[in-house]
Amino acid sequence: MRNAVILINKISANPLPDEQDVLEQAALVEKAMLMCGYSSQRIYFDLNLGNTWDLVKKLNPDVVFNLVETVNGRGELIHLAPTLLECLDIPFTGSASLPVYLSSHKVLAKKRFIDLGLPTPEWYYGEKFPDKIPEGRYIIKPLWEDGSAGITDNSVIYLDASDNDRLAVIRKNRKLFLEEFIQGREFNISVIGGDNEPLLLPPAEIRFKDYPQGKPQILNYASKWDEGSFEYRNSERHFDFTGEDAALIERLKRISLLCWKGIEMSGYARFDFRVDRNNQSFLLEVNANPCLSPDAGFIAAAEKAGLDYNAVVERILADACTKYK
């Protein structure tokens, strides 16, 4: 039996649901790896990089399953895990350090989208933040965090020429950026590596059921993590589409593959889109190493494609080992 390490972020003393979720992922991955012929041991990753280095070297695994989502609660340090594993020259799952860094820094990701000729909503941050911006609806987003952390209904705002004071506050907060709000439909395209070419999983649309007028139709923190909330109960994932959506779906798939290759991703990823009333598509962000919980969008798409959890883990492991042949 081959040996493996499951690398996860160290859990804080009072974790929120999104942080606790990594423990469920680790337990499920552990069972699946056993079915794939791997014994495994968990290592908790934090800023004590020397300790992690020594532990991994001592265990000398055939592969590391990287589930690190934050480091000491900070999303901007997520790239440290793949960086350390690259230095150890050990096969590991998911994307390499550079695509992880690029995709987790939302503004750098958007700049890369533009370089690749991919459509993305207009945004404002740092030197790109003028004294005045066009009047309209915007969404305030964290620069680094995933899982809709920090996103609430109050994140969607309307700005006009009289909002200079509010703009000044947003401009000064270097952990936030301002993005044009695309009113319309929301889609996810999941991709898994392997067999020399990435596999596009069935596309999903998030449909906002019975949302009252004026309530932003967005995936906020509550919709993903608060099971008792209106948003959680009424943000529904669907895989059924009519023929009228065929061209749109093909366009979203094409953009996803271009982004996958352009950012040099591997392992598995999810691409998030909004589509406006004119059927124009906008790539919001790309998630390297997305959540592998059974109710998460990536696993739901894999199941729709006929891949059970063990098959997903087996394919991710095969992709990791292939990169090091």
Identify the H or E element spanning 177: strand 176-180
Verify that 85 and 215 share a domain, yes or no.
no
Domain count, the chain: 3
Average pLDDT estimate for 171-192: 93
Verify that 172 and 204 share a domain, yes or no.
no
The band of 313, judged by pLDDT with boundaries at 50, 70 and 90, is: very high
* pLDDT tens digits, one per residue of 56-88: 999 999 999 999 999 988 889 999 999 999 999
Q: Indicate whether 274 pLDDT > 60.
A: yes
Verify that 174 and 286 share a domain, yes or no.
no
Distance CA 208, CA 205 (A): 10
Range with lowest mean pLDDT among 19-23, 110-114, 286-290, 305-309: 19-23
Verify that 67 and 89 share a domain, yes or no.
yes
Verify that 159 and 229 share a domain, yes or no.
no
- Domain final residue, candidates 110, 145, 180: 180
Verify that 83 and 221 share a domain, yes or no.
no
Average pLDDT estimate for 163-185: 87
- Domain final residue, candidates 180, 202, 218: 180
Verify that 85 and 32 share a domain, yes or no.
yes
Question: How confident is the model at residue 130, as a pLDDT?
Answer: 77
* pLDDT tens digits, one per residue of 20-55: 889 999 999 999 999 999 999 999 999 999 999 999
Domain that holds residue 166: 123-180
Average pLDDT estimate for 287-302: 94
pTM of the model: 0.94
Question: How confident is the model at residue 285, as a pLDDT?
Answer: 95
**CATH at 22:** 3.40.50.20
- Tell me how far apart the 2 most distant CA atoms of the chain are, in Å: 66
Mean pLDDT of the chain: 92
Residue type (1 letter), 201 = L
Residue with the bigger pLDDT between 127 and 15: it is 15
**CATH at 309:** 3.30.470.20
CB 178 within 8 A of CB 196: no
Of 101, 118, 110, 99, the residue nearest 141 (C-alpha): 110
Residue with the bigger pLDDT between 317 and 133: it is 317
Percent of the chain with pLDDT over 70: 98
Verify that 106 and 154 share a domain, yes or no.
no
Identify the H or E element spanning 176: strand 176-180
b/e sequence 206-231, b meaning 16+ C-beta within 10 Å: bebeeeeeeebbbbbbbbbbeeeeeb
Average pLDDT estimate for 133-153: 86
